[in-house]
Structure 1
Amino acid sequence: MEYLSIVYQGLLASLAIVLKLALIILPFMVLVEYAKHFGWLEVIAKRSQWFTRVFYLPESAALPAFAGLFIGIVSGSGVILQAAREKNYSRATLTILFVMIGICHSIFEETALFVGVDANLMVVAGARLIIAFVFTYLIGKMLERKRTIQQSR
């Protein structure tokens, strides 16, 4: 009988966590869909072209970069691949974009999930952003240097 009580308590605790996560994820997914529908992501990207210059990306890469950061790795990858087809991005540009979203995809959604299970918001979001930006900058700088060396030959 004691085992049934343990299983029951575990199921109740698991259900509580799942409900907490659903209360975080569902509104966020609705907000993302509205942002896509009304073009808010494009507006943010246009106003953030300074961001792409820091990471040695073309200005047209702002939308794919922000999509990856905000809406997740799968959707962000789809946006990047679609933009790559339309804009004919170089391998270096694609590498930089995928490194960025690989480390720091879905920053708001996943951080909210961690906070939902009592993680520290500043530690989770801050660490992910700093690591993603540092590695993205370093890889961008390395690829830019490689491109410059190849052009001078």
Structure 2
Amino acid sequence: MEALLPALLGALKLSAKLILIIVPLVTLFEVLRYLPVFRRAGNVVEPMMRGVGLTRDAAIPLFTGIFLGIAYGAGIIIRVAQQKGLPGRELFLMGLFLATCHSVIEDILIFIVIGGNGLAILVVRLGLAVLLTGLMARLWKPARTAPPFGIIH
């Protein structure tokens, strides 16, 4: 029973730290989403996105997933996929990238709070995501005549 109180206090302190990280990040993201920041950032990273098989249409979902995580980004990904008609290949590549390095900003801040090396985490996660997604984009060439998701008309 003596160990329960310090553990509970430690959990409450960590929870408070997490709230102080996550709430401002979500708020900042929601503000930036309506400003031209992501559009400009999309222009800057478009050549790199092409290198891993993604088009400009994937920029907003990709930024959402990188900034806040794949769970929050999933709603954005679904909406953009429906609106822009993203092909299955691009959805898969975006999913692979985000599964490998989702929530980079949020996770790194959380790991720093608990004593992790933020730079090492960033380099490994982004490097692995770019490597895996780029490799898959080269192995899975876009179909020129097949419609998305293999639908036969």
The runs of at least 4 consecutive aligned structure 1 residues that moved more than 4 Å come to none
| 1:34-73 map, 5 Å | 34-73=31-70
Structure 2 unmatched ranges of 5 or more: 147-153
Shift of 1:99: 0.5
Q: Are 2:146 and 1:119 aligned?
A: no
Give the match's secondary structure for 1:119.
coil
2:17 to 3, 12, 20: 20
Q: Relative to total residues, which structure has the larger helix share, 1 or 2?
A: 1
Of residues 53-62 and 132-141 in structure 1, the stretch that sits farther from structure 2 once superposed is 53-62
Q: Are 2:26 and 1:29 aligned?
A: yes
Shift of 1:147: 3.7
Shift of 1:32: 1.0
Q: Distance in 1 between matches of 2:108 and 2:77?
A: 22
Q: Is the 8 A contact 1:46 1:63 kept in 2?
A: no
Give the match's secondary structure for 1:38.
coil
Q: Report percent identity of matched pairs.
A: 26
Give the match's secondary structure for 2:34.
helix
Q: Distance in 2 between matches of 1:73 and 1:12?
A: 30
Q: How many aligned residue pairs are there?
A: 145
Q: Distance in 1 between matches of 2:112 and 2:86?
A: 36
Letter of the aligned partner of 2:9 in structure 1? L
Q: Distance in 1 between matches of 2:19 and 2:56?
A: 36
1:8 to 5, 8, 13: 5
The equivalent residue for 2:151 is: none
The equivalent residue for 2:150 is: none
Q: Distance in 2 between matches of 1:128 and 1:52?
A: 16
The equivalent residue for 2:104 is: 107
Structure 1 unmatched ranges of 5 or more: none
Letter of the aligned partner of 1:94 in structure 2? L
Shift of 1:73: 0.6
Task: Flag the 1:37–1:62 CA change in 2: closer, same or farther, 3 A.
Answer: closer
1:134 to 111, 131, 134: 131
Q: Are 2:63 and 1:89 aligned?
A: no
Tell me how large the CA RMSD over aligned residues is.
1.9
Q: Is the 8 A contact 1:111 1:121 kept in 2?
A: yes
